[in-house]
Amino acid sequence: MDQHLVRAAQRGDEQAFASLAVAIGDRLHAVAHRILRDIDLAEDATQQALLAIWRDLPTLRDPARFNAWSYRLLVNACYDEGRRSRAWRPNLRLLPADEPAAPDVFGRVADRDQLDRAFRRISIDHRAVVVLHHYLGMPLDEVAETVGVPAGTARSRLFHAMRGLRAALEADARSIVREVAR
């Protein structure tokens, strides 16, 4: 990230912030969508995060840390949206099946559905760790810093989340075996 832009935005330069927002908007939105699994909530969370970034930029002491810091605000916005959705909506709207970006590399639509259901069942704390680590490729210590927990907690969250997802995949596989055996 261009640190000059960050510094200019810290001083209240709206044009500089607009350039920053364009540069990071897609990435933030992609992460929010993967954490929340809901397109409307993801848009709201991204909007909320971008405004929080603008509002709080002057408190960022090290512009070199802008990316990690902005992901932290995004994750906080995802928490807020997740809570809001539980408060005001009886259920999350199910995602329309996204068009796969590539051929179905993991084989079965059932896997995807199973993963989606399993992912929705875990907390946003756990989802955030999975997405930051496995989607953004963040090292776990950076994930820990981003979500504001000790590294051990981040490791534990990743372990439990992945264990849940693995169990969901295995349950799905067992049900398919039973179907075939009938």
**Nearest CA to 22 among 2, 41, 36?**
2
Token pair of 139 as six digits: 């090292």
Nearer to other proteins (CB atom), residue 21 or residue 140: 21
From residue 18 to residue 37, what is the string marking binding to other proteins with x (rule CB under 8 A)? Answer: x--xx--xx-xxx--xx---
Q: How many CB atoms lie within 10 A of CB 55?
A: 10
Please check whether residue 75 is in contact with residue 147, taking contact to mean a CB–CB distance below 8 angstroms: yes
70 is a contact residue toward other proteins (CB under 8 A) = no
98 is a contact residue toward other proteins (CB under 8 A) = yes
Which of residues 2, 3, 4, 51 is near other proteins by CB under 8 A?
51
Cβ 60 to other proteins, closest distance in Å? 8
How far apart are the two ends of the chain, measured CA to CA in Å? 57
Nearer to other proteins (CB atom), residue 61 or residue 182: 61
CA gap 140, 154 in Å, rounded: 7
Which of residues 1, 67, 112, 140 is near other proteins by CB under 8 A?
112
52 is a contact residue toward other proteins (CB under 8 A) = yes
Q: How many CB atoms lie within 10 A of CB 56?
A: 13
Residues 130-169 that bind other proteins (CB under 8 A): 130-131, 134-135, 148-150, 153, 160, 162, 165-166, 169
**Nearest CA to 64 among 152, 110, 4, 122?**
4
**Nearest CA to 36 among 116, 155, 139, 113?**
116
CA gap 138, 122 in Å, rounded: 20
Residues that bind other proteins (CB under 8 A): 10, 12, 14, 17-18, 21-22, 25-26, 28-30, 33-34, 39, 42-43, 46-47, 50-52, 54-59, 61, 69, 72-73, 76, 79-80, 82-84, 86-87, 98-102, 105-106, 111-112, 115, 122-126, 130-131, 134-135, 148-150, 153, 160, 162, 165-166, 169-170, 173
